[in-house]
Amino acid sequence: MQIIEIYKSLQGESSYTGIPCVFVRLAGCNLRCVWCDSEYTFKGGSRMTQEQVEAEVHRLSPDKGLVEVTGGEPMLQEREVIPLMDSLLATGYTVLLETSGERPLAKVPVGVVKIVDVKCPDSGEGGTFLPENLNALTERDELKFVIASRRDYEFSRDFIRELPSRIPAGSVIFSPAFRKDATGSRSADHCLVDPRDLAEWILADHLNVRLGLQIHKFIWEPSLKGV
Ligand code: SF4
């Protein structure tokens, strides 16, 4: 498979926030979100076998723990990524898959925690989520909405009001979009929506969702890669 990088850091998002995690970042994405902070994944990378990827994961995290398969869009390399996730699960890792949900997710191994980043209108990629993927979600999966405007917030709010009841409220994350050109200070000023505004909208609408901040952008310099 085509790999951009494999590294260990703290998980910055999802309900696993703050836990040490090995990130396996695959190359290539078929979307072009306007605030994308991973454009360096669109091209390049190195060809690695499943065995090489697993060896590197094991070197970085020999006592198992959390592994996130991410990108780019990892499901573009489904043929190789699914056996990799199966094998990591069998070895004892907890496996997260970060995906936009634009590709079918039905074949993702059931033990994998899918973190599905449903694109809002102001990402420039609204409408790309495949509705039938809702049927592939289990109670352990999470839905994430990266919110760049009030319009994105209203889209997300209306989307979750239609969700099947088996998706627990704590598994839905509303996260302010971060400026992709943010540099320098570690500050909420880099968010395209003020986290306080987002918090107040959530409370005013009585939504039972989780407000998520990308903590790696507050721990390290916001433009730093590989953290
Ligand atoms: S899906 Fe992810 S990697 Fe692809 S353009 Fe959007 S934010 Fe970037």
pLDDT digits 0-9 by tens, 55-75: 999 999 999 999 999 999 999
Indicate if the pLDDT at residue 99 is higher than 80: yes
Ligand 1: distance of its center to the CA of 63 in Å? 31
Ligand 1: distance of its center to the CA of 148 in Å? 14
Ligand 1: distance of its center to the CA of 57 in Å? 23
10 near 216, Cβ under 8 Å?
Answer: yes
Mean pLDDT over 191-202 rounds to: 95
pLDDT of residue 122: 98
Mean pLDDT over 181-200 rounds to: 87
CA pair distance 64, 61, nearest whole angstrom: 6
With 0-12 CB in 10 A as exposed, 13-18 as middle and 19+ as buried, what is 4? Answer: buried
Indicate if the pLDDT at residue 226 is higher than 90: no
Residue with the bigger pLDDT between 139 and 29: it is: 29
**DSSP label at 194?**
-
Which of 33, 20, 2 has its CA nearest to residue 94?
20
Ligand 1: distance of its center to the CA of 69 in Å? 14
16 near 95, Cβ under 8 Å?
Answer: no
| Mean model confidence pLDDT for the chain | 93
Indicate if the pLDDT at residue 27 is higher than 80: yes
Determine how many CB atoms are found less than 10 A away from the CB of residue 224: 12
- The percent helix, strand, coil of the chain (3-state, each to 5) is 30, 25, 45
Count CA within 13 A, CB hemisphere, residue 201.
22
pLDDT of residue 223: 75
Residue list, ligand 1 pocket, CB within 6 Å: 29, 31-33, 36, 38, 41, 71-73, 100
Per-residue confidence at 91, pLDDT binned at 50, 70, 90?
very high
